[in-house]
Each structure stands twice: as structure tokens, then as C-alpha cells.
Amino acid sequence: MTPFLSLAGDAIRRLRSIRFAGSMELVGVSLRRLLQLMAFAICCNLQAAPEHEARKYLEALPGADLFREDAVAKLQIEISVPGLEVLQKEPRQFVSATIRENQVVYTNVAIHLKGAIGSFRPVDDKPSLTVDFEHFSPGRKFHGLRRVHLNNSVEDPTYCNERLGSELFGAAGIPAPRVAGALVTLNGRRLGLYVLKEGFTEDFLSCHFSHPGGNLYEPEEGHDVNQHLKRNSVRAQARDRQALRALAMAALDPNISNRWAALNKSLATKEFISFMAMEIMIGHRDGYCLARNNFRVYEELDSQKIMFLPDGMDQLFGNPSAPWQPRMAGLVAKAVIEIPEGKLGYRECFTTLLTNLLRPDFLATRVDRVVASLRPFATVAEFDSIQNEAIALKRRIAERRRDLDLNVCQPELKLLSLENGDALLENWVKAEEPHDGTMEMGQSPDGISELHIMTRSEASTSWRTRAVLNRGHYRFEGRARVSGVKPLASGKHQGAALRIGGSTRRSDDLVGDSSWRVLGTDFQVETDATEVEFICELRAVGGEVWFDKATLKVVSMPQ
């Protein structure tokens, strides 16, 4: 059974039978439509189609054998010495390679290195690779696909996150690249296990859209729709950017009533709300909504509307207690959630997807099956590590569901009252408690009420709370002191600080040892009744911090 069907199958089998509108025939039905019907079936307690008919359709798609249940491809890559030298100097430049998969040999294959700051590795290490079979040999395919990616998964030691994210987005009706496993060697050197991922090409688009010739953009040159997004290398006629410009104008419209109507003309709003809900639900903290990163936008030609697609989902479920209504960083996410219709739609969609898709029992079984598929290809040490990380992942998924069940049903936060221009912040909760450390709330010997964090190893952890504010200029401030805080090896912001959710640090960083100091960060609220997240955080490899709870407050600042 394919991953998409395995996600929906047990629910579908329990539900009563209905028929597709007009016909049971699946010929001409896009994968996107099929997945939407599956999601609808789960949400509405209906059966969308006989499982064997859906499987028959999915197995006819290009690359189906590559992404069959628990598949692991064995790829032997050979690159010449001159090619290796090019990749050492210009890692993003394509070079020629030979790839062997079992008895099949592909020559003159285009390969370059990929990866961001955290995941990039040089060619003499365990590099992530983009592999294009048509770049130097027009018309050639690999299992029906032009391009695949081999991700080294250094930021996902379970090798499961990308697959879980793809399947969950797919079940929610949002197109996402298919994912499998791979065992890779380079010039006879064992690189080890990889995550094999479908590329964003016309092959991918043709599975989900009736006309795959629309513009596809990615966040390389710009990070949002009001910036110059890079046009993806899909081989389709370049079109003007009018749809993208219209979406940016709609999102920036200060008139809330006009904005909703304008967004509905330029954005696939229902799908985008599902996209937002799924990103936040599974903790895709490096995605569009929270970081304006790892996404694609596609201009669907039939509707002339923009659709957002997920990418880079190797870091999921990191913080089980992450808020389900966070401060959005993405322009379109902010624009939608500020509108009453958008906020209501998000809440309803989130609740439905939470109930039907974020199921720890099913996802734990899915993780176990993916891990088991890797066992024949891993060393004993590798597999032990993968198993241990998978246990932690399953625990975080269960914790995420429990936290969301508790918080989604909570009443809306009330507007924070700033008497005399300020207000103390209460209801602090732990987030990402350090693996080798403690987080406590209590009183010091001298009577100070404190939020305490201590870690003995690498950690990025925090105390958090939320409040609703009207538009205006504010300052979040409070006292803190540190002892023995050692900063992380990388990253711009280190040690202890105050921060507003969805934004970078603007307060001072405390490292080493210090007595009590007042920290503060200014921030702007653009619209009334906006929910703001307040964060007291520590990023360090060791040490401890105390935040004076009685001084943590919001101050109204003059405009």
C-alpha cells in the first residue's frame, strides 16, 4: 500500500460507501484531487472510493515504483576527479556523473551539492545532492522523473520526518513531493542512508494539476511574495508575475474587508488555510508561516490562483508545546489570520485536521515501518541510533497531540489590560525542556519568584506565554541573571535573552556570568486583537539562567 493510502486506509475501510460524483472512474483524476477526496472522506466519515481503485491510480503515476511502501533505492555514484574538484570550489554547479542502480547504468547525469547552513556538507563528507537526469541528456528519465534529491538527513536522525510531513500534507489535500529511502555510495565510498525526495518539476506538477505549465517559485532570491522569488527550473513558458503581484497587493491591503475579497481572487484560500494549519500542527518551524523558508508557490492555470506547497520538512515535532496560534512571519499567513473569516477558518480547519490526521497511534506505526525498512541497509551502530531517535520522535508526536488537545479547546485569550501603561505577564509554560537539564518555577532564597533553566549540554529552550494586544508600539522587558552560560558553536544569537515569537532577538544576549540585568525588546502590533507570544529563552551548551517573574511585563510605548 502506498504511504498516502496507508494514512487514510484504515479510516476509509471503517466508513460507509458512497460514490464519486458522476462516476467511479479515476482516469483523468489528478493525485491532488484524489488526496482531497480522501481527506474529505476522513473528515466527513465517508468512503471516497474503493481502495484498490485508488491504489491502481497511484501506482500508474511516474515514479510509483521508486516511492512504493518502504522502498529503499541502492545508488552507486561515480564522479571524476575534475568533477569533484569543481564541486569543492563551486558546490552548486552541475557536474557529470555516472549512476548505477542495480543493473541499470545512467551516464552523464547532472549532480550538484545542496543544503542550507545546518545540513550542508562538502563533497568529501556526506553531501546532500540534487540529481537531474535530463540536464545533460534531454528526454531521459529516472523511474519516470527528471529530478530527485538525496538529502543527508543530518538534521533528522530518524530519516522519518520528511516522509511523515509529505504524507500528512498529502492527506490534507496539499501537494507534497513523495519520499523514500536510499543507500548511497560515492566512488566506492559508503555515504550511508539518505532520504530520497521527488523534485519540484513538471513531472511532480502533472500528478497534481491539470495543466503543469504555470509559474513555480521558490524562496532563494527573496523570502516572500512581495519580494523577487526565484522562478523554478520547470520547463514551461515563462509567464508574467501578475498573479504573484496581485497576491502581494492583496496581503498588504490595510483594509481588512477589502483584503479578504482580494485574497480570494488571487489565493487558493481554502488550501492555504490547510497549509497553514498543517505547518503549525506538525511543528514545521522552518517553513513559510514561521520562517518564510522552505516553500514553493505555484500559479495554477485553471483558477489563476496561487497555491503554496511545503518543502524542507526534516525538522518536525521539535517542540510539542509550540503554540497553535503563533505570530506568523509569512506575509500571506499574517494577512489571512488577521481577518475574522481567515482566523475562524483556521480554527475550524486546525480542529478537523487535528482530530483526523494527527493520530499518534497511526504515526507511531508509520515510524516503525519506515525504520524497519532501513534496517537491512544500516550498520548496527546506525540502526541503534535511528531506533533511539525514532522512540523520541514518537514520544514528541504523542506529546504534541496531548498539548494541542488541551490548548485548542481553550477559550480565546482576552485583551491584556495595561493599567498605568504596563501589565505583568502570567501563565508561563515550558517549551523544549533540555534533554540534560531542568526547568523550574519557584522562589529563590531571597524571595524572588523565578523562571529557571539549567542545561549541561546543547539546548535551545524557553519559557513562554501569550497575550492579546491591540495595535501599538510596546516593549517586553524583565530582569535576568546567568551563571556559566556557554554559547552554542554556531548561530548569531546566543545565551539568554527575551524575544517575541515569530521575530529574531532584539534584546541583549547574556552569556558567561552576570548579576541581575534588565533586558528588553521593542515590538510593533499592526492590528487590534493580535495574539503575541513572549519568550524567555536560553541557547547554550551549558549553564543556567534565572528570569525574575515579577518583572516580566509589557510596557506601552509612545508611537
Question: What is the number of domains present in the chain?
Answer: 3
Residues 76-105 as b or e (16 or more Cβ within 10 Å = b): bbbbeeebeebbeeebeebbbbebeeeeee
pLDDT of 11 > 60? The answer is: no
Residues 278-302 as b or e (16 or more Cβ within 10 Å = b): bbbbbbbbbbbbbbbbbbbbbbbbe
Q: Do 378 and 484 lie in a common domain?
A: no
Confidence of residue 435 (pLDDT cuts 50, 70, 90): confident
pLDDT of 39 > 80? The answer is: no
pLDDT of 168 > 80? The answer is: yes
Q: Do 552 and 455 lie in a common domain?
A: yes
Question: Which residue in 210, 209, 240, 241 sits closest to 225, CA to CA?
Answer: 241
Least confident residue range of 75-79, 204-208, 243-247, 517-521 = 204-208
Which tens digits make up the pLDDT trace of 408-430?
A: 887 778 899 998 899 999 999 88
pLDDT of res. 19: 30
pTM higher than the cut 0.85: no
Question: Which residue in 175, 231, 249 sits closest to 208, CA to CA?
Answer: 175
Q: Do 222 and 334 lie in a common domain?
A: yes
The reply to whether 80 falls in a domain is no
The reply to whether 425 falls in a domain is yes
Which tens digits make up the pLDDT trace of 185-211?
A: 999 999 999 999 999 998 899 888 888
pLDDT of res. 25: 32
Average pLDDT over residues 123-134: 96
pLDDT of res. 173: 87
Q: Do 327 and 433 lie in a common domain?
A: no
Q: Do 373 and 500 lie in a common domain?
A: no
Q: Do 440 and 510 lie in a common domain?
A: yes
The reply to whether 495 falls in a domain is yes
Average pLDDT in the chain = 86
Q: Do 334 and 372 lie in a common domain?
A: no
Q: Do 291 and 385 lie in a common domain?
A: no
Distance, CA of 293 to CA of 270 (rounded, Å): 21
pLDDT of res. 56: 64
Q: Do 225 and 318 lie in a common domain?
A: yes
The reply to whether 5 falls in a domain is no
The reply to whether 414 falls in a domain is no
Domain CATH code at residue 488:
2.60.120.260
Confidence of residue 61 (pLDDT cuts 50, 70, 90): confident
pLDDT of 293 > 70? The answer is: yes
The reply to whether 501 falls in a domain is yes
The reply to whether 189 falls in a domain is no
Q: Do 256 and 337 lie in a common domain?
A: yes
Average pLDDT over residues 72-82: 97
Q: What percent of the chain has pLDDT over 90?
A: 64
Q: Do 377 and 503 lie in a common domain?
A: no
pLDDT of 237 > 70? The answer is: no
pLDDT of res. 53: 55
Can you tell me whether residue 118 is helix, strand or coil?
coil
List the domain range (segments joined by +) for residue 324: 214-358
Residue 152 corresponds to which cell in the numbers above?
543527508
Confidence of residue 553 (pLDDT cuts 50, 70, 90): very high
Q: Do 540 and 492 lie in a common domain?
A: yes
The reply to whether 134 falls in a domain is no
